[in-house]
């Protein structure tokens, strides 16, 4: 059974994941900035609780972002580059049988 990998589709997927991760990181950075503004403006127990919850959410984004970046790196370095290396080797070896 012949198996193949569409490296163009994989490149597009990697690019889309990288873009989504960057977009989410930018959104969380904006939320973090606004949390500081909120913290200075909303001085009460409820304000403090809201800001604390937002900071927990922001902190969780760091882990989410790192996990997604690790997955992107895995796809790029192991799957795509590994496939290309194997295909190049196979092509080179096949040339000896021509």
Q: Determine the straight-line distance between the first and last CA of the chain, rounded to whole angstroms.
A: 22
pLDDT (0 to 100) of residue 24 = 96
Q: Which two tokens stand for residue 15?
A: 């690019």
35-82: per-residue pLDDT in tens?
Answer: 888 778 888 888 888 888 888 988 899 999 999 999 999 988 887 776
In the predicted structure, residue 96 carries a pLDDT above the cut 70: yes
pLDDT (0 to 100) of residue 68 = 97
In the predicted structure, residue 1 carries a pLDDT above the cut 80: no
Quote the pTM value. 0.70
93 burial (CB, 10 Å; 0-12 / 13-18 / 19+) is exposed
């Amino acid at each position: 059974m012949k198996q193949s990998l569409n490296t163009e589709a994989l490149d597009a997927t990697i690019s889309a994941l990288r873009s989504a991760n960057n977009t989410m990181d930018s959104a969380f950075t904006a939320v973090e900035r606004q949390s500081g503004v909120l913290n200075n403006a909303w001085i009460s127990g409820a304000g403090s609780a809201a800001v604390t919850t937002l900071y927990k959410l922001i902190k969780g984004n760091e882990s989410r972002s790192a996990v997604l970046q690790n997955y992107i790196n895995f796809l790029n370095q192991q799957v795509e580059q590994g496939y290309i290396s194997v295909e190049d080797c196979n092509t080179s070896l096949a040339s000896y049988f021509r």
